[in-house]
């Protein structure tokens, strides 16, 4: 049986009307599905009666000089992946059907959660994410929605929005899936050459150096960050954008590691922007 594919909110809503008595799991994506996405899909399938995946390359979350036009798009491959995984329906809306225009109502998360980390250099990014995720949650009305922990800032902001706006959905964060080298799976990894992928392994390796210090009872975040920086310096091809230790919920910087904290990083290899993070304690 072919996987049902819907391109408008009304089509999907009509399909879901007869399934509202079942538990619904939802995995919102931008497509170019990889093993990380598949782990979210598998969990949604296991924990719910009905599992829905959306694919929407959200133009609101891309800046003027970012990679919207060249972002990987492989709908037919993604459809096969979803069908093989046992997904019940695929939602692939167009920008028009999602109401993307200059007068679209925007969802604005707390500014303090958007000002640091990726938000410092991606103005408007998380407002665009918040707006579309809010629309998707309202369209699908799932019991549970699944997001990768690799996008830790996004996950924290979505959790805050859901709490503040009283959305009746559980936001499930799923562990980052990694290649054998430690490189986090990402759709943007497709941009990297084999050499670039090899060099990008330094990202996770460098984060682990901070955890090793924390295991030795080091709580000074400056020293933990210095250990990461030292490790990164062994791969000059990596261009650091930011490195920070913050509270996992509020995303505010912390000085001492008194509680588990988010160690987050972003940078470029071969002009491809990569992010990663770990929780250190």
User: Is the CB of residue 228 less than 8 Å from the CB of residue 265?
Assistant: yes
**CA separation for the pair 52, 47 (Å, rounded):** 12
- Residue 167 sits at φ, ψ, to 5 deg, of -75, 130
**CA separation for the pair 34, 112 (Å, rounded):** 31
At a CB cut-off of 8 Å and minimum separation 6, what does 40 contact? 27, 29, 146, 147, 148, 174
% helix, strand, coil for the chain, step of 5: 40, 20, 40
Instruction: Tell me which residues are annotated as active site.
Output: 37
């Amino acid at each position: 049986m072919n996987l049902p594919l819907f391109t408008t909110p009304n089509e999907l809503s009509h399909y879901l009307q007869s399934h509202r008595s079942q538990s619904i799991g939802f995995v919102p994506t931008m497509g170019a599905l990889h093993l990380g996405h598949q782990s979210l899909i598998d969990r949604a399938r296991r924990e719910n009666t009905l599992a829905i995946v959306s694919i929407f390359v959200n133009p609101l979350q891309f800046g003027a000089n970012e990679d919207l036009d060249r972002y990987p798009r492989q709908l037919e491959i993604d459809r096969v992946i979803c069908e093989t995984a046992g997904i019940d329906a695929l939602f692939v809306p167009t920008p028009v059907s999602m109401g993307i225009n200059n007068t679209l109502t925007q969802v604005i998360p707390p500014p303090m959660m958007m000002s640091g980390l990726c938000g410092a250099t991606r103005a408007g990014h998380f407002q665009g994410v918040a707006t579309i995720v809010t629309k998707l949650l309202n369209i699908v009305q799932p019991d549970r929605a699944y997001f990768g922990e690799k996008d830790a800032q996004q996950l924290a902001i979505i959790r805050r929005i859901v709490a503040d706006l009283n959305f009746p959905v559980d936001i499930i964060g799923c562990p980052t899936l990694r290649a054998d080298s430690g490189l986090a799976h990402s759709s943007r990894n497709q941009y990297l050459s084999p050499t670039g992928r090899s060099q990008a392994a330094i990202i996770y390796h460098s984060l682990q150096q901070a955890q090793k210090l924390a295991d030795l009872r080091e709580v000074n975040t400056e020293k933990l960050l210095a250990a990461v920086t030292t490790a990164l310096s062994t791969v000059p091809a990596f261009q650091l954008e930011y490195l920070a230790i913050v509270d996992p919920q509020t995303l505010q910087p912390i000085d001492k590691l008194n509680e588990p904290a988010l160690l987050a990083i972003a940078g470029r290899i071969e002009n491809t922007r990569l992010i990663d993070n770990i929780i250190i304690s």
